[in-house]
Chain A
């Protein structure tokens, strides 16, 4: 969005650009971030199934990381992990 002034914004909260939600990084909301102990992870991908924000990065059938631009820190992955490999850590600063 070019301007955030009332006089220049599209009226009524209208979004006049398609696909603008891509720019909306909901990872900003996060207060805790998931961290994975690679030694405990079995690549069962249950975290990938459960993640409501599509934020488990999988490559060649293996979990390789978290997409922190959109991970809201809900902790479902940590809660569901059968190997207790994922823990939630406080975001600092």
Chain B
């Protein structure tokens, strides 16, 4: 199919139009608003059959999604920043009830001080909530991830809610050329929604979300732990199917020019794209560097990461969020992933881009150079005026 120009949010709305979910319940919040705004136009124009609920808050939006999904409906929503934070309580209900809700998060900083621009604090705050989390680099990936998410979340081995993340403004509001798939191809890729149990199935009455006491709660949490372990193979097999229809091949964690590299920088989201440019420039200068794009954050691909950095001398982990009192959120997980490897590379952390602070190419070059010259602290704050 021919390439068209859309911003990230419009591309997400288009993906929903093609999937035609049964229910979308949402509350608009910058920089996600264009998604639900565009999609509500599709609803108003009769281009989809979706029941669209404009909720009075994000807490309500997610609660409506939970009810819809429990009744056996394919359900999607979108949010960002404070909206995701306001959903926090019900995120756990969605995952605890094992409902395959698909949600797009347009990554934005959390207040305060109030800020509407990109960082990953919102999604990182939900990392323990039992949701699958996938990050995209650009408009194409945001669109592709949105489609794949339905297949992953709804897979019968998993049945878990899934978040696909795109960088606020940088991807949500930037016009990019991308290649959507034809409607019928999307339809057959996603397939009809299936459920195991539905609250509306009066012939097989069930109770969902009952009080779970000391005698069973732990077992139900353990079920989620086990189900999360089954996610990676499903993400991989869905990506394989997706490659067949799109020609675009996605991995949960993607290396760039790592084969003979000594040093690498890892990032999630749009920064992974800038990193590739920097790798090309430094390679032209004869430096043996590469980069790593982390796509799947939950479940965290510990084994895959450990294998990928084998033989490297140094790796910098870029975190567009900070756990105040610790370090960036990816860093400790990456370090933990390498702990058992005696030949592990030096691993350092760069917290960057908070509140939408631009990450400039020369800053990334500086990170590579610090790695190469064995400089830099364990945790560094890139681009901040100290």
Interface residues of A (CB under 8 A from B): 4-7, 9, 11-16, 18
Contacts A4-B216, A16-B197; is A11 near B205 (CB within 8 Å)? no
Which residues of the partner chain B approach A15 to less than 8 Å between Cβ atoms?
Answer: 206-208, 210
Q: Contacting A13 at CB < 8 Å: which of B159, B216, B227?
A: B216
Residues of B within 8 A of A5 (CB): 219
Closest chain A CB from B29 CB (angstroms):
28
Q: Known contacts A5-B219, A6-B220: does B206 contact A13 (CB below 8 Å)?
A: no
Contact: B219 with A12, CB < 8 Å? no
B223 contacts partner chain A, Cβ-Cβ < 8 Å: yes
Do residues B223 and A11 form an inter-chain contact, with CB atoms below 8 A?
yes
Among B78-134, those with CB < 8 Å from A are: 96-99
- B130: min CB distance to chain A, Å: 10
Q: Which residues on the B side are within 8 Å of A11 (C-beta)?
A: 98, 159, 220, 223, 227
Q: Which residues on the A side are within 8 Å of B212 (C-beta)?
A: 13
Complex: A5 Cα to B220 Cα, angstroms: 9
Contact of A12 among B204, B222, B223, B226 (CB under 8 A): B223
Contact assessment for B96 and A12 in the assembled complex, using a CB-CB cutoff below 8 Å: yes
- CB of B46 within 8 A of chain A? no
A9 touches B220 (CB 8 A): yes
In angstroms, Cα B69 to Cα A47, docked, is 44
Main DSSP-derived SS at the B contact region: loop
Q: Which residue of the partner chain, among B159, B210, B219, contacts A9 with CB atoms under 8 Å?
A: B219
Which 5 residue pairs of A and B lie closest in terms of their CB atoms, listed nearest first? A15-B207, A12-B98, A6-B219, A6-B222, A18-B205
- A6-B226, A7-B226 known; A14-B207 Cβ under 8 A: yes
B325 within 8 A of A: no
Find the residue from B98, B209, B223 having the highest chain A CB count within 10 A. B223
Residues of A within 8 A of B209 (CB): 12-13
Interface string of B218-245 (1 = CB under 8 A from A): 0110110011000000000000000000
Residues of A within 8 A of B227 (CB): 11
A13 to B214, CA, bound (A): 12
B226 near A9: Cβ-Cβ < 8 Å: no
Chain A residue contacts of B205, Cβ below 8 A: 18
Q: How far is the CB of B51 from chain A (nearest CB, A)?
A: 23
Do A14 and B208 have beta carbons less than 8 Å apart? yes
With A4-B216, A14-B197 as known contacts, state yes or no: A9 contacts B223, CB within 8 Å: yes
The minimal Cβ–Cβ distance linking A33 to chain B, given in whole angstroms, is 23
Q: Which residue of B lies closest to A8 (CB)?
A: B219
In the complex, residue of chain B having the shortest beta-carbon distance to the beta carbon of A5: B219
Instruction: Add 17 more A-B contacts to A6-B222, A9-B216, A13-B210 (CB < 8 A).
Output: A4-B216, A4-B219, A6-B226, A7-B223, A9-B219, A9-B223, A11-B98, A11-B223, A12-B220, A13-B209, A13-B217, A14-B197, A14-B208, A15-B210, A16-B197, A16-B206, A18-B205
Distance, CA A12 to CA B209, complexed state (A) = 7
A-B contact pairs, 13 of them (CB 8 A): A6-B219, A7-B226, A9-B219, A11-B227, A12-B96, A12-B223, A13-B96, A13-B217, A14-B97, A14-B207, A15-B206, A18-B205, A18-B206
